[in-house]
Amino acid sequence: MKLFLLFFLILSFVHAKTTTDFSVVIHKPFNAALFDITEDHDRTITAVGFSNTFKQNANPSKTYTNAFDYLASVSDKYGAQMNLVKVNNQAKILLDKTAKLSRFNKAVAVVKTPTNGYFIGGYTMDGSLLVAKLDANANLLYSKIFGTKNYDRMSNLVLLSDGGVLAVGSSFTSRDTRDNMFRAGLGNNDIFLTRFSKDGHMLWSKKYGTRFDDNGIDAVEAQDGSIIVVSTMSSQKSRDVSFMRITENGNKIWLNHFITHHNDENLVVPKKIIRLKDNSFVVSLIQYNQVQKEHIRLVKFDLYQNILADKEISTTYPSGLMDIKEFSNGKLMGVGYVKDKHNTDGLAMLIDSDLTMLKQEHYGGKNFDIFYALSILHNSQVAVAGIHTDDYSQEGNMWILKLNQDATIAQIATLSGDFYNVLCKTFAKEIENKKLRIKEDLSIEFTDKTLYFPVGEYKLTHEQKEFLNSFSKKLIPFLYANRELISAFSINGHTSSEWKNVSFKDRYLKNANLSMQRSFSVLSEIFSTQDKAKQKWLSKVLQGSGLSFSHKVMTNGFEDKTKSRRVTFKILLK
């Protein structure tokens, strides 16, 4: 037990020295934020939001005697522009692009195209809506500014099954009766939906709502191609959360004012709706109590307006979920904020399939931090986008985190050079005692004579099993902790070139079979001693092969037959 604890402490120390939390803060000269995030086809992560761009004064040499004249000269010379950031598995920024449009704007959503490009959705500061399509390198293919003559605002851009997108937002109502979209019945503000094809062609654009203020919040496509929209309706007497179902052509099927609150009741604000794998829907809401403290509420319903579950998640501090996604195992991850009287932190919450909170984690510093969006990655880790404010600062920065499935922060994948250095430290005793040798190409060879195979043998000896057990207890946990960077782990069997009284062909084939048997013996011994999680991962990367006598060990120009009867290991990185 003492030896195990000592080993654990040493390994923990090495691991702590060679891993770093996956947290990327992108600093800009002025306030900046990220509002949505997605995984690229090459496993990198892309997020969008805005940064503020400063435009140089056209006449910098001019002097001013009046401060108000100077302020007038620089007005509208800086403002928000869409910003796209791409990072890799090592948390390195690969791309950081800012739009250079004449009208200041913000991006609220990003979705992937089949060609590894992007649809970006947002709005301009003067009240128009904006959809842009980018290629895989974030080069602009085209952009469309659309909307009404009045003030419009986009809240989300939703990917549809045909490769197109649906822009969800709100528009202030025109009183021009000649426009069919704005006939009687629509109020001060209305739900505004616009559908685009995968090629960026506008298919339809429609308004929905009541004679009161209606705001489109989010939408999701049902399995049958219809669309569920979540919105709010506000009047002087009440505030409603509404669910609406429309056809793929935008025709209303039903509208359900699910939650109606009068002035003396608690306010509920919807934030996100998703479709689950069982084809039901979950909407995340922020519920305010009588003292205006917010907490989380989740509602699950089906396509026919049946409420399947309605749960409030009470937390010690005011909390809200801005985004929510479902894992393949049915559990949910939500991200948002948690705040007390001193600061606001980013919140990550793991939720069971019955909408019960399993755990929560808080991330941030001494000031304002918030998570706006998450994307579940191919390996069930979670990429998160939001705002981080440095200590003693008043400006927000773009923030990307990567979390594990249990909501703990993930570690940055180790690089090849780091792998070699850590392996050498991990097996320092074995290297010093000449038990094994590690090369910079991440190949590992046993060098102790007791670890070689006798002539014609492939079954493991007691000494070989004992050493393999010690060897794998150090190696496999390290590989598993850095599995995101590993492409393959190969175990290669080798033989000497000898085989008495047979032809060259038979000598090669018999040794090929023997080398494969040696590889399988070692592979089986290592695999069998791992827990189920590591076995499942190893089944994807573990490779066994027999190389016959094609890689003989040569000493002074002659074959060393004893050392040739061996197995070697090779770690291949992505």
pLDDT (mean) for 535-563: 92
Q: What distance in Å separates the CA atoms of residue 193 and residue 170, rounded to the nearest whole number? A: 8
77: confidence class by pLDDT, cuts 50, 70, 90: very low
The chain-wide mean pLDDT, for the chain, equals 86
pLDDT at 89: 83
Check residues 208 and 417 and name the one with the higher pLDDT.
208
Torsion on CA atoms 247, 250, 253, 259, rounded to nearest 10: 120
- Max distance between CA atoms of the chain, in angstroms, equals 105
76: confidence class by pLDDT, cuts 50, 70, 90: very low
Q: What distance in Å separates the CA atoms of residue 285 and residue 299, rounded to the nearest whole number? A: 8
Check residues 478 and 59 and name the one with the higher pLDDT.
478
CA distances from 427 to 15, 182, 446 (A): 13, 74, 12
Please write down the HEC assignment for all residues of 329-348. CCCEEEEEEEECCCCEEEEE
| Residues 25-56 pLDDT 10s | 999 888 899 999 999 988 899 999 988 865 54
- The residues, any chain, with a CB within 8 Å of residue 175's CB and separated by 6 or more, are 182
pLDDT (mean) for 332-353: 94
Check residues 473 and 16 and name the one with the higher pLDDT.
473
Q: What distance in Å separates the CA atoms of residue 525 and residue 459, rounded to the nearest whole number? A: 11
Contact 209, 186 (CB under 8 A): yes
Contact 93, 46 (CB under 8 A): no
- The residues, any chain, with a CB within 8 Å of residue 70's CB and separated by 6 or more, are 64
Q: In DSSP terms, which residues pair with 272 in a beta bridge?
A: 284
Tokens representing 529 are 């001693």
pLDDT at 64: 58
pLDDT at 183: 43
pLDDT at 381: 92
Q: What distance in Å separates the CA atoms of residue 371 and residue 221, rounded to the nearest whole number? A: 24
Q: What distance in Å separates the CA atoms of residue 103 and residue 80, rounded to the nearest whole number? A: 9
Class of domain 416-573: alpha beta
Q: Is the pLDDT of residue 179 over 80?
A: no
62: confidence class by pLDDT, cuts 50, 70, 90: low
pLDDT at 18: 38
CA-closest candidate to residue 331, choices 282, 384, 296: 282
Contact 534, 479 (CB under 8 A): no
Query: Length of the chain, please?
Result: 574
Percent of the chain whose predicted confidence (pLDDT) is above 70? 87
pLDDT at 99: 82
84: confidence class by pLDDT, cuts 50, 70, 90: very high
pLDDT at 13: 34
pLDDT (mean) for 284-289: 88
Q: What distance in Å separates the CA atoms of residue 573 and residue 488, rounded to the nearest whole number? A: 7
Measure CA 205 to chain center.
31
pLDDT at 5: 35
Burial, 81: exposed, middle or buried (Cβ in 10 Å; 0-12, 13-18, 19+)? buried
pLDDT at 1: 37
Q: Is the pLDDT of residue 453 over 80?
A: yes
CA distances from 2 to 7, 8, 9, 471 (A): 9, 10, 11, 18
6: confidence class by pLDDT, cuts 50, 70, 90: very low
Q: Is the pLDDT of residue 166 over 80?
A: yes
174: confidence class by pLDDT, cuts 50, 70, 90: low
Say whether pTM exceeds 0.75: no
Q: What distance in Å separates the CA atoms of residue 393 and residue 474, rounded to the nearest whole number? A: 44
186: confidence class by pLDDT, cuts 50, 70, 90: low
| Residues 511-530 pLDDT 10s | 999 999 999 999 999 999 99
Q: Is the pLDDT of residue 461 over 90?
A: yes
pLDDT at 428: 93
Burial, 61: exposed, middle or buried (Cβ in 10 Å; 0-12, 13-18, 19+)? exposed
Q: Locate tokens 């999680």: which residue? A: 533
pLDDT at 419: 80
- The residues, any chain, with a CB within 8 Å of residue 304's CB and separated by 6 or more, are none
Q: Is the pLDDT of residue 484 over 80?
A: no
Q: Is the pLDDT of residue 135 over 60?
A: yes
292: confidence class by pLDDT, cuts 50, 70, 90: low
291: confidence class by pLDDT, cuts 50, 70, 90: low
Which residue type, as a one-letter code, is found at position 117? G
pLDDT at 20: 79
Q: What distance in Å separates the CA atoms of residue 154 and residue 518, rounded to the nearest whole number? A: 63
Neighbour tally for 203: CB within 10 Å: 14
pLDDT (mean) for 482-490: 86
pLDDT at 19: 45
Check residues 179 and 286 and name the one with the higher pLDDT.
286
